[in-house]
Amino acid sequence: MKKNDRVQFIQDCLDKEYPTTPIPLTHGNMFELLVSVLLSAQCTDERVNQVTPSLFSLADNPKKMSEISKDDIYKIIKPCGLGPKKSKAILHLSKILVKDYQSSVPESFEALESLPGVGHKTASVVMSQGFGHPAFPVDTHIHRLAQRWGLTNGRSVTQTEKDLKRLFPIDSWNKLHLQIIFYGRQYCTARGCDGTKCYICRTCYPKRINPKKTKKS
């Protein structure tokens, strides 16, 4: 199967399997989404969703968050991992949002990525899922599947993002990145599929016998 055919097949398959793509992280406003995405680094969405109700009942906006202590934040978010680093970032970015952005989450990659604890992937999630701007956040699932499906060489997450943006139409990015994540969690898992077992891998590469080695993000 040629790459263009694979791309179309993958998109058709994912559209059929996941016609709707609910945002995995539970949130009530843009600030809660930003904090939730920050917490999801090296943590499952499920765990984040278990932790954030307690955090947001204490502070659901930058002003309230900036007025509580780092220790109070840490005690709540500790189960998400990297607690000291994340609690410090949440407190610091909240103060910046109050001081420089009138307690609002900025609507630009540059401004978001200037905030403590916010990298390109986190900014991309907020821009796409929060503000609706075209973006293609690449997490471990997307990085793994893009390699298994022959869409990138996997040299880096940055390269994977560039390759996927080049292959798929811009109006599909916001939905597609979630569809790939859902498929990676359900069918093409890190251990459950090695590039030879799930439906998309088998259809795209029917002659592949050996497991497809993938580079980690």
Residue spans of the domains in the chain: they are 30-130, 136-204
Determine the average pLDDT of the residues in 46-68: 98
pLDDT, position 90: 98
Question: 154 falls in which pLDDT band (50, 70, 90)?
Answer: confident
**What architecture is the 30-130 domain classified under in CATH?**
Orthogonal Bundle (1.10)
Q: What is the CATH number of domain 136-204?
A: 1.10.1670.10
Determine the average pLDDT of the residues in 211-217: 89
pLDDT, position 14: 98
pLDDT, position 217: 73
Average pLDDT, rounded, for the chain: 97
pLDDT, position 216: 84
pTM: 0.94
> Could you check whether 30-130 and 136-204 share the same CATH topology?
no
Among the listed residues 212, 210, 197, 201, the one whose alpha carbon sits nearest the alpha carbon of residue 9: 201
pLDDT tens-place string over residues 59-88: 999 999 999 999 999 999 999 999 999 999
Query: Which residues carry out catalysis?
Result: 121, 139
Q: What is the C-alpha to C-alpha distance for residues 178 and 20, in angstroms, rounded to an integer?
A: 10
DSSP 111-146: HHHTSTT--HHHHHHIIIIIT--------HHHHHHH
Question: 34 falls in which pLDDT band (50, 70, 90)?
Answer: very high
Question: 4 falls in which pLDDT band (50, 70, 90)?
Answer: very high
